[in-house]
Amino acid sequence: MTSPPTLSVNRTAVQWSPVCGRYLVAKGAIRGHGLLIEELPFAVGPKCNGPVVCLGCYEPNPDPEEELCSECGWPLCVECAQQADNAHFRLECSQLKDARARFFRLPSGSRHCPQLDCIMPLRVLLAKEANPERWDNEVAPMEHHKEERQRDADVWHADRVNIAQYLRGPCQLANRFSEELIMQVVGVLEVNAFEARSPKGYPLRCLFPYTGILAHNCVPNTSRSIYPSEGYKIRLRAMVDLEEGQPLHHSYTYTLDGTAQRQKHLKQGKFFTCQCERCLDPTELGTHFSSLKCGQCAEGFQVPRQPTEPDTSWNCANCGSDTSNADALAMLQSLQSEVNAVQALPMAAKRLEEIERLLRKYKSLLHPLHFIATGLRQLLIEMYGRVQGYEMVQLPDHQLERKAELCRQVLRVLNTFEPGLSRTRAMNLYELHVPLVLLAKSGFIAGKLKGGELRARLVDAIDLLKECVEILEFEDKSSQEGVLCVVAKQALKQLTLSVEGLGSELD
């Protein structure tokens, strides 16, 4: 029985440049939502620097006394121990058992299990032996930034001891894998691996050799979805319409971070400075996503003169006043500490009210669309209608209008940074439709809206739901987004029936 091809759909071509190295371009014109790549992973495994997890399903913190593999003694939950085909049994179990490599329980209070950091590299090495052709053609050429990684001596030494020397020593693999090869694999994973979720929602890592060479841009034009129910297959789709030969991008960092924060993440984890249009624009494509209120004039905003430079000054276009980068970042760090403290509060009314207080406070310090303010709005969107005292059916009109306005403000940013096929946009579209429907119905009941106006507003909500469903229908059915898609479809059906019934009444 032949195994399925690892790359079953490919509407892209590989090109090379001195800046990006290998990268992908569209092969032919492709409409938004169009499928570009469908690829099976080379390896799947636990994340680095994480807690003890089951090596079958990645559930964190299995019982340290009882949930261990009966063969090798490494972490394995009771359910996975009864599944002969799980990843642990198929891959590293026999090697760990034959080498008598013991798993040591963590001291009480420890959160990071360095011993498990070797598992994903080991699975890549085992896959190399099982599929040498794919390794040679797809994985070996992947960037691993050896020289840059060696500059962080502490991390390099930890990886060398906890992974390379552990695999070659206690795991008895010295005759099969050199230290140089193991450290190459560690780098390939650090630079290229994608985070995914197990069917139960637990985080893990996947290595996709072809999709992994996508170039970075802080405004991506592709969207990826990983399907645990299909062997963690990845599907890459066009977020927007693409022209033939157009470079394909995804974001290696969080698009709703400011430029300085994205640059720091990319420099530390991916070893490059992003020079995309958004990063080079002090206003971040007109959103002022990192802009600060000027302290010298009432109307101006301070923006970084050279956003990608660590020693840039911040300048107000209105009055010309300057602030040093150190002072600007110190203020932001202080605000972020306040935000973190509020985020740590229990999911209750006090947390919501504290977030609203911070937003009011920051009006005099930040541009209205600043990334800190946008993050606070996203938190409020998720809380209005869900916390005690602010349940959706109890919200008065002014709080429904507040939730709707929060959604519109976040969508304004997302429409610029994640246009088209964006899961985050879809979730905010769903959140927006709810207060719009409730406001329309309460307005009609109060006599403020006529039948035709009610129908028009409900049709607007239907359009939001339709776009939400169009985006989320590509997600794995077991994922949070896939579940929301089902809910959105049900809401769309009910709302459509309501509008049709209303139409017949008006006739």
pLDDT, residue 504, reads 56
Q: What is the pLDDT of residues 399-415, one digit of tens each?
A: 999 999 999 999 999 99
As a whole number of angstroms, the distance between CA 142 and CA 339 comes to 38
| pLDDT score at 105 | 85
Domain ranges of the chain: 7-40+220-250, 43-207, 396-507
User: Under a CB-based contact definition with an 8 Å cutoff, are residues 374 and 256 in contact?
Assistant: yes
Each residue's pLDDT tens digit, 71-121: 999 999 999 999 988 999 999 999 999 999 999 988 877 888 999 999 999
Say if domain 7-40+220-250 classifies as CATH 2.170.270.10: yes
Residues pairing with 507 in the sheet: none
For 174, residues 6+ apart whose C-beta sits below 8 A from its C-beta are 168
Does residue 219 carry a pLDDT above 50? Answer: yes
Q: Is the pLDDT of residue 387 over 60?
A: yes
pLDDT of residue 2: 42
pLDDT band for position 64 (50/70/90)? Answer: confident
85 Cβ contact list (under 8 Å, min separation 6): none
Query: CA 394 from chain center: how many Å?
Result: 33
pLDDT of residue 506: 54
How far apart, in whole angstroms, are the C-alpha atoms of residue 215 and residue 22?
A: 8
The answer to whether 223 and 239 have CB atoms below 8 angstroms apart is: yes
Average predicted confidence (pLDDT) for the chain: 94
Contact residues for 333 (Cβ-Cβ < 8 A; gap 6+): none
Quote the pLDDT of residue 107: 80
Round to whole Å and give the CA distance between 115 and 176: 20
- DSSP assignments along 325-373, one per residue: HHHHHHHHHHHHHHHHHHHTS-SSHHHHHHHHHHHHHHTTTB-TT-HHH
pLDDT of 438-473, one tens digit each? Answer: 999 999 999 999 989 999 999 999 999 999 999 999
Contact 417, 219 (CB under 8 A): yes
